[in-house]
């Protein structure tokens, strides 16, 4: 009986701790409104975070839907924006573009290279880009390209062969 | 300096997450100790050391297990994202992260001067000849006290000092030092209890487990939670040695009386002492020391029930809860 009571007390207190942690995690957004969160559109990011120079591709694959289905952005600790694009028919996220002031910023949750097959350095419109090709968690082909554009690090990830991806990336270089 | 770069780097992430992981581990351990009413110092110590050892390995292990843990999506769904708090700006645009770094720095200083430096000093001094006013402990009272103790007896030395004191030097060849003042103050039975307590310390110090724990603890030199939890576990060590001494002599009440005589019967500093009296810090240290001694006496006098609640089951449940919650603390 004592042991059962112990398990019950432990589970209840741990549940309270988890709720408390969630609240503690939410508190900073009261004092700092520019922390990472979802935005409805890019204009909201531009005005809310004073981030005028968001780079968007001028070439866009026809099977993808514009505008981005999800936009995540932050002003602190450094400026960053993530745009997700869905397939027109399947609604599956097929392209993710991130732009950030930090080299370590990672937005590879929806499209993730689990198995890397090839990594090459590439010159694209005079930029040194790194192209990675491999497979995602469900065995689908994925590719990623990243480079530095001015003060920002740009990552473009796609659930497609690199050909389309490079065309998107090329259209983002001014 | 751009602090976000530091917190974004591998060492910065390691240090920050180790701090928050130890805080969560400390909280879960406290919940477990209260939920299952664990009072045995030996078991409590194992639990407290979870908060010391767990954060050393958690960050790299989580990273190996899930390389996507530091992605923006994971952070967005995390239970606690340290980066959010580190970015909060205080007045004068000072980020909260700068305060945390200051706390780490202060903790490192405390660790170095209060823990590491004395250990190094002790280790360097142990190879040299003992203090000048020391003689071999061949007094009849000591021989009589040691006679009936069923334990391996370390070397005993007597210090020519009228203040009553007793302590052990641990290491490969443990020894016990006691003062002439102590020999005058205690009866043979009380001396036996005090020696049994120190013999317990010497025998425990030979176990490689404690050495390994201390070496691991050094890795968390910057972590204030680890500092507190490690000190709490050291306090439990005293209670473990009390239990061992009581079982060696079979007389816990004599050990309680010995503790009272040695540490509580000396006049406590009067309240409201002025300029030349001890500082506030010294008073607090003295107060906390007396509280600790009193709790040890209470345990010995009131008796202590041995915990029989399936120690390893509770330990495993606690460890699992710590690992599961901390996985979502980035």
For residues B92-109, average pLDDT? 92
Q: Is the pLDDT of residue B275 over 90?
A: no
- Number of structural domains (chain A) is 2
**What pLDDT was estimated at residue B130?**
54
A6 C-beta neighbours (distance < 10 Å), count: 20
Residue B161 in domain: no
Kindly state the average pLDDT of the residues B251-278.
74
Within a domain: residue B153?
Answer: no
E strands, chain B, in order: 89-90, 94-95, 134-136, 155-159, 166-169, 175-179
DSSP state of B9: S
pLDDT class of A82 with cuts at 50, 70, 90: very high
- Global ipTM: 0.83
At B148 the pLDDT is 83
Instruction: Name the burial class of residue B276, with classes exposed (0-12), middle (13-18) and buried (19+) by CB atoms within 10 angstroms of its CB.
Output: exposed
Whether B293 is in a domain gets the answer yes
The percent of residues above 90 in pLDDT, for chain B, comes to 40
In a domain, B84, yes or no: yes
Residues 6+ apart with CB under 8 A from A33: A48
A16 and A75 inside one domain: no
**Residue B283 or B20, more confident:** B20
| Closest chain A residue by Cα to residue B72 | A107
Q: Within this chain, do residues A71 and A86 fall inside the same structural domain, yes or no?
A: yes
Q: Which pLDDT value is given to residue B315?
A: 93
Beta strand pairing call for A70-74 and A80-86: antiparallel
pLDDT above 60 (res B270)? no
Q: How far is A31 from chain B (nearest CA, A)?
A: 7
Q: Tokens 């708090």: give the residue.
A: B85
What is the model's pTM? 0.82
Pick from B66, B71, B82 the residue to mutate for testing the A interface (most A CBs within 10 Å): B71
User: Which of A17, A25, A109 lies nearest to residue B72, judging by beta carbons?
Assistant: A109
Residue B143 resides in a domain? no
What does pLDDT average to over chain B? Answer: 86
* Inside any domain, residue B154: no
Do B58 and B18 contact (CB within 8 A), yes or no?
yes
Cβ distance of A36 and B72 shorter than 8 Å = yes
A25 and A51 share one domain:
no
Query: What does the pLDDT read at residue A15?
Result: 97
Contact B218, B116 (CB under 8 A): yes
Using a CB-CB cut-off of 8 Å, the residues of chain A touching B34 are: 9, 13
Predicted local distance difference test score (pLDDT) of residue A63: 86
Sorting pLDDT into bands at 50, 70 and 90, what band is B280?
confident
Q: Looking at beta carbons, which residues of chain B come within 8 Å of A18?
A: 79, 325
pLDDT at B77 over 70: yes
Identify which of A13, A78, A106 has the shortest CB distance to residue B71: A106
Task: Please name the member of B5, B35, B329 whose beta carbon is closest to the beta carbon of A10.
Answer: B35
Same domain? For A159 and A96 the reply is: yes
- For B100, the 3-state DSSP assignment is helix
Expressed as residue numbers, the domain containing A17 is: 1-31
Average pLDDT over residues B149-174: 84
The verdict on a CB contact (< 8 Å) between A78 and B4 is yes
Whether residues A72 and A21 share a domain: the answer is: no
> pLDDT class for B277, splitting at 50, 70, 90?
low
Do A95 and A12 share a structural domain?
no
Which range marks the domain in which residue B248 is found?
Answer: 3-128+207-268+278-327
pLDDT value of position A164? 87
Residue B172, pLDDT score? 67
**In B112-249, alpha helices (H):** 117-125, 140-147, 180-185, 188-205, 208-219, 224-249
Q: How many CA atoms lie within 13 A of B48 on its CB side?
A: 22
Burial profile B239-271: b = 16 or more Cβ within 10 angstroms, e = fewer: bbbbbbbbebbebbebbbbbbbbbbeeeeeeee
Q: Which of B309, B311, B318, B233 is nearest to B54 (CA)?
A: B318
- The answer on A113 and A159 residing in a single domain is yes
With b for 16 or more beta-carbon neighbours within 10 A and e for fewer, the B169-182 pattern comes to: bbeeebbbbbbbeb
Portion of chain A with pLDDT greater than 70, in percent: 100
Distance between CA atoms of residues A132 and B301, nearest Å: 70
**A80 plus A108 within the same structural domain:** yes
B263 found inside a domain: yes
pLDDT of residue B236: 87
**A128 and A73 assigned to the same domain:** yes
Q: Are both A57 and A26 inside the same structural domain?
A: no
Mean model confidence pLDDT for chain A: 90
Q: Looking at residue B119, what is its pLDDT?
A: 78
pLDDT band at B266 (very low <50, low <70, confident <90, very high): low
Same domain, A78 and A163: yes
pLDDT band with cut points at 50, 70 and 90 for residue A148: very high
Whole-number Cα distances in Å, A53 to A43, A128, B194: 11, 21, 74
- β partners of residue A141: A135
Bridge partners of residue A127, in order along the sequence: A124
Q: Which two tokens stand for residue B87?
A: 């970015």
Would you say A12 and A4 are in contact if contact means Cβ atoms under 8 Å apart? no
Are A67 and A152 contained in the same domain?
A: yes
Number of domains in chain B: 1
Structure tokens at A152: 């920002």
Find the angle CA(B314)-CA(B292)-CA(B277) to the nearest 5 degrees. 150
According to the model, what pLDDT value does residue B1 have?
Answer: 54
- Sequential DSSP letters for chain A: -HHHHHHHHHHHHHHHHHHHHHHHHHTHHHH-TTSSEEESSHHHHHHHTT-------S---TTB-SS-SEEEEE-SSS-EEEEEEEBTTT--EEEEEEEES-TT----SSS--SEEEEEEEEEETTEEEEEEEEE-TTS-EEEEEEEEETTEEEEEEESS-HHHHHHHHHHH--
Confidence class of residue A139 from pLDDT cuts 50, 70 and 90? confident
The DSSP H or E segment spanning B4 is helix B3-8
Q: Is the residue at B184 inside a domain?
A: no
Q: Backbone phi, then psi, for B304, in 5-degree steps?
A: -135, 125
- Residue A111 sits at the chain B interface (C-beta within 8 Å): no
Q: Do the bridges between strand A37-39 and strand A70-74 make them parallel or antiparallel, or are there none, so unpaired?
A: antiparallel
B90: helix, coil or strand? strand
**A88-130 tens-digit pLDDT:** 888 888 999 999 998 888 888 888 888 889 999 988 888 899 9
**CA dist B186 → B36, B148, B249 (Å):** 39, 17, 16
CB B83 within 8 A of CB B96: no
Task: Collect all residues with Cβ–Cβ distance below 8 Å to B192 and sequence separation of at least 6.
Answer: B145, B146, B148, B149, B249, B254
Q: Which of B8, B34, B73 sits opposite A109 (nearest CB)?
A: B73
> Which residue has better confidence, B226 or B212?
B226
């Amino acid at each position: 009986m004592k042991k059962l009571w112990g398990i019950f007390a432990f589970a209840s207190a741990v549940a309270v701790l988890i709720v408390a942690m969630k609240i503690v995690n939410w508190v900073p957004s009261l004092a700092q409104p520019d922390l990472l969160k979802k935005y409805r559109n890019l204009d909201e990011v531009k005005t809310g975070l004073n981030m005028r120079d968001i780079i968007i591709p001028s070439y866009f694959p026809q099977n993808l839907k514009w505008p981005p289905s999800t936009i995540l952005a932050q002003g602190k600790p450094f400026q960053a924006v993530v745009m997700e694009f869905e397939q027109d028919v399947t609604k599956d996220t097929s392209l993710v573009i991130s732009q950030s002031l930090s080299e370590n910023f990672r937005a590879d949750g929806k499209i993730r290279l689990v198995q890397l097959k090839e990594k090459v350095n590439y010159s694209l419109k005079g930029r040194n880009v790194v192209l990675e090709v491999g497979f995602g968690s469900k065995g689908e082909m994925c590719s990623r390209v990243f480079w530095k554009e001015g003060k920002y690090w740009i990552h473009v990830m796609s659930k497609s062969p690199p050909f389309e991806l490079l065309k998107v990336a090329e259209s983002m270089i001014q | 300096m751009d602090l976000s770069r530091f917190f974004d780097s591998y060492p910065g992430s390691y240090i920050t997450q180790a701090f928050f992981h130890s805080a969560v581990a400390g909280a879960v351990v406290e919940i477990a100790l209260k939920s299952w009413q664990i009072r045995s110092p030996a078991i409590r110590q194992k639990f407290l050391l979870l908060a010391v050892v767990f954060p050393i390995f958690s960050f790299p292990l989580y990273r190996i297990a899930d390389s996507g843990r530091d992605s923006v999506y994971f952070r967005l769904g995390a239970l606690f994202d340290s980066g959010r708090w580190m970015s909060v700006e205080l007045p004068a645009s000072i980020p909260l992260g700068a305060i945390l770094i200051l706390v780490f720095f202060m903790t490192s200083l405390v660790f170095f001067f209060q823990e590491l430096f004395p250990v190094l000093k002790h280790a360097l001094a142990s190879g040299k000849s003992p203090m000048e006013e020391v003689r071999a402990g061949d007094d009849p009272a000591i021989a009589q006290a040691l006679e009936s103790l069923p334990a391996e007896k370390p070397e005993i030395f007597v210090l020519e000092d009228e203040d009553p004191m007793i302590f052990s030097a641990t290491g490969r060849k443990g020894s016990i030092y006691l003062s002439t003042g102590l020999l005058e103050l205690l009866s043979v039975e009380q001396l036996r209890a005090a020696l049994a307590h120190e013999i317990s310390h010497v025998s425990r110090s030979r176990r490689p487990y404690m050495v390994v724990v201390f070496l691991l603890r050094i890795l968390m030199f910057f972590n204030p939670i680890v500092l507190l939890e490690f000190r709490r576990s050291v306090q439990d060590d005293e209670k473990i040695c009390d239990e061992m001494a009581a079982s060696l002599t079979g007389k816990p009440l004599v050990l309680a009386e010995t503790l009272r005589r040695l540490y509580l019967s000396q006049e406590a500093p009067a309240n409201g002492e002025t300029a030349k009296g001890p500082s506030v810090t010294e008073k607090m240290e003295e107060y906390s020391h007396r509280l600790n001694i009193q709790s040890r006496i209470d345990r010995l006098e009131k008796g202590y029930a041995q915990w029989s609640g399936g120690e390893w089951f509770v330990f495993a449940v606690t460890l699992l809860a710590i690992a599961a919650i901390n996985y979502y603390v980035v």
